[in-house]
């Protein structure tokens, strides 16, 4: 009986229910917040997050994977405060989010760096997974890394290889951020394969940002899951195209290789609330249940395929770990 670590403890993988595989509770810039504390109120933010997750549970979603890692402002105590009152189960992640460079304290450590020593990232990630994050005992259930437009810079390569090694040590799955138009998923698969990772343990994230079926087919052929995980970010790709791409891949027989999500958050400091409300009204947790699922059904996707993407695939991804 496979178990997965969540913010509120260990759960049987079969109990995860319907899962959104790439979301965020809080995206925070700590340095900004420490220096401009008026930009954050803990009680208000916690209450607001709990309200949003209560509504999400009523809409039929049981679990979210919070892929907020270092670089996005992971703050596990704040997530715990939400998780303790949330009817939606939350899975925490470890890893590093950056498009090109690590921060100085990591850039100067590790093999070939100014102060040398072992690669610190592997130990950081493994500790988060096996002992828990920041002394809370809350263990990360998934690993996260990024390859965006700048490609595999030296620091990005360090992170990808450290994530691969932490995966091989712990067995927890890997989920990524990519620039899909630059086909960065293929770069990630190459490095993971070199490290000996089974690509079936990898979700290539933001794959839904492209409708290039040849590229998506290559990712699937190599064995990975596709994160069709930015529903609601209609400025990057329209709702209609996102739905049509998932439907096309289901017709090819790949419901078993896709997961659905929004990449949204209870609150992010990076996007002004008024901008978000005005320009990205669909970028919220219930968009998939309210709009995407009906549109997929309308496009000929069977209810069984929807359950495969929301229930079976997430369960399989965590069970393999």
Of 10, 12, 7, which is closest to residue 53 (Cα–Cα)?
7
Write out the residues near Zn ion by the rule CB under 5 A. 263
Task: State which residue, 209 or 263, has the beta carbon closest to Zn ion.
Answer: 263
For the CB of residue 264, give the shortest distance to Zn ion in the complex, in Å: 9
Task: State which residue, 23 or 119, has the beta carbon closest to Zn ion.
Answer: 23
For the CB of residue 113, give the shortest distance to Zn ion in the complex, in Å: 28
Can you tell me the distance from the alpha carbon of 85 to that of 7, in angstroms, rounded to the nearest whole number?
11
Task: State which residue, 45 or 206, has the beta carbon closest to Zn ion.
Answer: 206
Task: State which residue, 184 or 301, has the beta carbon closest to Zn ion.
Answer: 184
For the CB of residue 68, give the shortest distance to Zn ion in the complex, in Å: 8
Radius of gyration over alpha carbons of the chain, in Å? Answer: 18
Task: State which residue, 176 or 245, has the beta carbon closest to Zn ion.
Answer: 176
Closest-CB residue for Zn ion?
263
For the CB of residue 196, give the shortest distance to Zn ion in the complex, in Å: 26
For the CB of residue 12, give the shortest distance to Zn ion in the complex, in Å: 26
């Amino acid at each position: 009986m496979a178990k997965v670590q969540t913010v509120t403890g260990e759960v049987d993988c079969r109990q995860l229910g319907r899962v959104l595989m790439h979301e965020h509770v809080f995206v925070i810039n700590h340095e900004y917040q420490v220096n401009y504390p008026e930009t954050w109120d803990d009680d208000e933010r916690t209450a607001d997050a709990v309200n949003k997750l209560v509504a999400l549970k009523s809409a039929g979603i049981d679990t979210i994977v919070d892929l907020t890692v270092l670089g996005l402002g992971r703050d596990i105590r704040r997530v715990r405060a939400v998780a303790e009152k949330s009817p939606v189960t939350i899975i925490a992640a470890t890893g590093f989010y950056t498009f090109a460079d690590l921060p100085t304290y990591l850039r100067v450590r590790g093999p070939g760096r100014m102060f040398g020593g072992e690669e610190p990232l592997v130990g950081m990630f493994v500790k988060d997974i096996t002992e828990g994050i920041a002394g809370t005992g809350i263990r990360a259930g998934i690993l996260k890394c990024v390859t965006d437009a700048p490609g595999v810079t030296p620091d990005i390569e360090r992170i990808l290889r450290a994530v691969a090694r932490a995966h091989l040590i712990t067995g927890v799955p890997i989920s990524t951020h990519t620039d899909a138009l630059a086909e960065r998923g293929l770069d990630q698969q190459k490095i993971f394969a070199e490290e000996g990772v089974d690509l079936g343990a990898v979700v290539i994230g933001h794959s839904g940002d492209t409708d290039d079926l040849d590229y998506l087919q290559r990712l699937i052929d190599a064995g990975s899951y596709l994160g069709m995980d930015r529903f609601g970010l209609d400025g990057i790709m329209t709702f209609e195209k996102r739905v049509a791409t998932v439907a096309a891949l289901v017709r090819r027989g790949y419901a078993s290789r896709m997961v659905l999500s929004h990449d949204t958050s209870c609150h992010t400091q990076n996007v002004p609330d008024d901008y978000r409300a005005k320009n990205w009204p669909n970028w919220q947790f219930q968009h998939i249940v309210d709009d995407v699922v009906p549109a997929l059904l309308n496009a000929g996707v069977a209810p069984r395929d929807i359950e495969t993407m929301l229930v079976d695939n997430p369960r399989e991804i965590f069970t393999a770990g």
